[in-house]
Structure 1
Amino acid sequence: MKMKWSSGAVLAVLAGAAHAQSSVTLYGAIDAGLLYQSTTADSFAPHAPNTGHVFSFKDAGLYSSFWGLKGTEDLGGGYQANFRLQGVFNSGSGRLGLADTTGGTAVFNQQTTIGLSGPFGSFDLGRQFTPMIYAMADTDVRGSGNFGSILNAWLGMNQATGWQGTNSNVPIGALYDSNAIVYQSPKFYGVSLALEYAPGGVPGQIQGGTRESAVLNYSNYGLNLAAVYYNAHDTNTAAASPTGLANNRFYYLGAKYTFHAVSVSASYAIGKNPSDTSQANYEFISGGLGYQFTPFLDISSGVYYIKDRNDATNHSIEYVLGGEYLLSKRTTVYAQVGYVANRGTMNQAIAYGEPVAPGVSTTAAMIGVRHSF
């Protein structure tokens, strides 16, 4: 839904406004379904007990249910000013204000950015998705979906470090970063670069709480390649007492190739605490295969392996198969099934936000519908 405001209308409401907003768009999606899971746990703790199987309503089977506002003002000469406000909600309860960082929640917990774009590329300032997440999604056949994808494998690494899933200030990499400045270059023969820096704002500690990352992408002729470097200081619980030490580092290499209706993908990643690798030192490997039977029906599969480099008894492997059918341009129905074999204290989950029992095998299945607006 787009609402276009003339400069006269804006001046009538906001006296003294100098320019009209070229466009403001309200957008979002609602995603809901039914989930069966053969094991559960009451938390993501590495030793959480198995509370048994569960059959439940599940929000966000493919991706988050979310809503947002975005706007663009034409500055002339190919330049634009942009803003975006975006946050998730629970389609089962209608709840807003989901977890942001330790001790707080946020309505617009995904993106609150203002920026400029033009022939030089784009600059965005504020809380936003990290460039690494886009790179990972583009090099996984199953994208970074909420059920059995590279997103779950990366989160599995974080859960293995003891992250409880109650905030977005994770020990390895990042899905979102607050106070971030992100530059995205234009493509040059399929090659593009994304750079991120987030100052920590800690008095007397220039590196306290800072984050920086770089992503090199190639996208052309059906081939997507991505290389990721992410480094952060004082993440997760260490943020309460900044030291300035780098304790969050993530490396990722991924590729996806699509030829006609067939897509294949593969990736390798390392996540660790460089100031003390005994606390966190993990790697994962992924592979995927997809086939688009018709313009309306797509089937995808993936395998995701995580290994604790400090303890060989801690490892997990997950297998996933899913199908999506487009009822219309905006409405999709889907069915998904996954199996994960967790060993030791590993607790890689199948469905986003749904803990599984550590150290045992779990099966999950889900059907649902997603509508975008």
Structure 2
Amino acid sequence: MKLKWSAVAALAVFAGAAHAQSSVTLYGAIDSGLVYQSTAASSFAPNAHNNGHVFAVKDGGIYGSFWGLKGSEDIGGGYKVNFKLQGVFNSSSGKLGLADTTGGTAVFNQQTTVGISGPFGTFDAGRQYTPMIYAMADTDVRSAQYFGSILGAWLGLNQAAGWPGTNTNVPIGALYDSNALVYQSPKFYGASAGLEYAPGGVPGQIQGGTRESAVLRYSNYGLNLAAVYYNAHDTNLAAATPTGLDNNRFYYLGAKYTIRGVSVSASYGIGKNPSNTSQADYEMISGGLGYQFNPFFRITSGFYYLKDRNNSANHSSEYAVGAEYNLSKRTIAYAQVGYVANRGTMNQTIVYGQPVAPGVSTTAAMIGLRHNF
């Protein structure tokens, strides 16, 4: 009898050990607040009109609300197999996030990846964030937030280039790429590299819909540096037959330095259509300043300038200031205000998803809560 119970106990131990080697986690965040904007438009169309001020409940003052599932299995030798499913939703309406197709939505529109990690770094396959967006966030004091940041400035380039704001397939750079293969190297004395290739999967056209990018990053001693190259074919031509046209290129250099709670950032970027620079050729310049008063409270500010290199009359300047207070490890209260001066055909926004009419200046303010789970 003792032998029998010993065997049962041994099996239970081994079963527990096997179970401990893998895990699945449900995670996410809800971010909602009140926003006021002095001018607003119904869309990002080049002929959109100013409809006047707007006051509303708004999702995503810091980042969008999202949820996901992620898991990891230890296969030994320092290697793990990982997966991630993640998608955004609108906390004020319950709607799902945008997909690549105009008007479409997707449950997991941000990440649907499976991959492997180990001493060599990580390799992931599927729809995922592009390496360029992490590099931009690391070199922006405002951390590429949804309100007044390098993310909004980069989206401003896309709006000027004709992005309708109703899909995730933008004409300059990319926030997400579908069918992507991404390798991220380990850090070596603070330096790392990210490489991406996304086959287009178009029959008879090897270049049709393909995307490739390379990112170099350095992070050490309070200094973050980033260099980005992104190139894509047939971007935002969903209504046309893919031809392999090289029409999306983005270059970016950024830096951020933090010492004794003070953070300073600066960046320079160029976005264009290399097949037709007369159609799209834009410049982006940013600067930021922030201070971490204590582990719970910080203030950040940023300046973001956009210019049409084909027409100097089209330019835009944005200023944003935000304060964040950690109520707990999972909950942040925030307040922020911004102003954008749009000239010519530029329609840079302050708040992600809240359009501004071309050539119209506006002021926006938002307060809200973000809770992570």
Whole-Å separation in 2 of the counterparts to 1:273 and 1:7: 58
Whole-Å separation in 1 of the counterparts to 2:101 and 2:297: 38
* Correspondences of 1:172-183 after superposition (within 5 Å): 172-183=172-183
Counterparts in 2 of 1:362 and 1:66: CA distance versus 1, 3 Å: same
- Show the counterpart of 2:358: 358
CA contact (8 A) 2:224 2:257 kept: yes
1:147 matches 2:117: no
CA contact (8 A) 1:110 1:129 kept: yes
Whole-Å separation in 2 of the counterparts to 1:103 and 1:205: 26
- Show the counterpart of 1:14: none
CA contact (8 A) 1:47 1:345 kept: no
CA contact (8 A) 2:98 2:168 kept: no
1:245 matches 2:256: no
1:281 matches 2:278: no
Q: Which TM-score applies when normalising by structure 1?
A: 0.94
Q: Secondary structure at the match of 1:236?
A: coil
- Show the counterpart of 2:205: 205
Whole-Å separation in 2 of the counterparts to 1:94 and 1:112: 20
Q: Which TM-score applies when normalising by structure 2?
A: 0.94
Q: State the number of aligned residues.
A: 360
- Show the counterpart of 1:329: 329
- Show the counterpart of 2:53: 53
- Show the counterpart of 2:100: 100
Q: Which stretches in structure 2 are left out of the alignment for 5+ residues?
A: 1-12
- Show the counterpart of 2:294: 294
Letter aligned with residue 151 of structure 1? L
Report the Cα offset of residue 294 of structure 1. 1.3
Give the alignment's Cα RMSD to 1 decimal. 1.6
* Correspondences of 1:306-321 after superposition (within 5 Å): 306-321=306-321
Whole-Å separation in 1 of the counterparts to 2:30 and 2:157: 28
Report the Cα offset of residue 161 of structure 1. 1.0
- Show the counterpart of 1:133: 133
Whole-Å separation in 1 of the counterparts to 2:202 and 2:121: 30
Letter aligned with residue 44 of structure 1? F
- Show the counterpart of 2:161: 161
Letter aligned with residue 263 of structure 2? S
Report the Cα offset of residue 78 of structure 1. 0.3
Q: Which stretches in structure 1 are left out of the alignment for 5+ residues?
A: 1-5, 10-17
- Show the counterpart of 2:43: 43
Whole-Å separation in 2 of the counterparts to 1:308 and 1:230: 19
Counterparts in 2 of 1:335 and 1:103: CA distance versus 1, 3 Å: closer
Structure 1 runs, 4 residues or longer, greater than 4 Å off: 6-9, 18-21
Whole-Å separation in 1 of the counterparts to 2:316 and 2:94: 34
Please say which of residues 42-51 and 230-239 is displaced more in the overlay: 230-239
Alpha-carbon displacement from aligned partner over 1:108-145 (angstroms, at most 9, x marks no partner): 00000000000000100000000000000000000110
CA contact (8 A) 1:79 1:118 kept: yes
CA contact (8 A) 2:103 2:166 kept: no
CA contact (8 A) 2:120 2:186 kept: yes
CA contact (8 A) 1:7 1:20 kept: no
Q: Secondary structure at the match of 1:195?
A: strand
Q: Secondary structure at the match of 1:240?
A: coil
The structure having more radius of gyration, on CA atoms, is 2
Fraction of identical pairs, as percent: 80
CA contact (8 A) 2:90 2:97 kept: no
Q: Secondary structure at the match of 2:237?
A: helix
* Correspondences of 1:224-243 after superposition (within 5 Å): 224-237=224-237, 240-243=240-243
CA contact (8 A) 1:90 1:96 kept: yes
Report the Cα offset of residue 93 of structure 1. 1.4
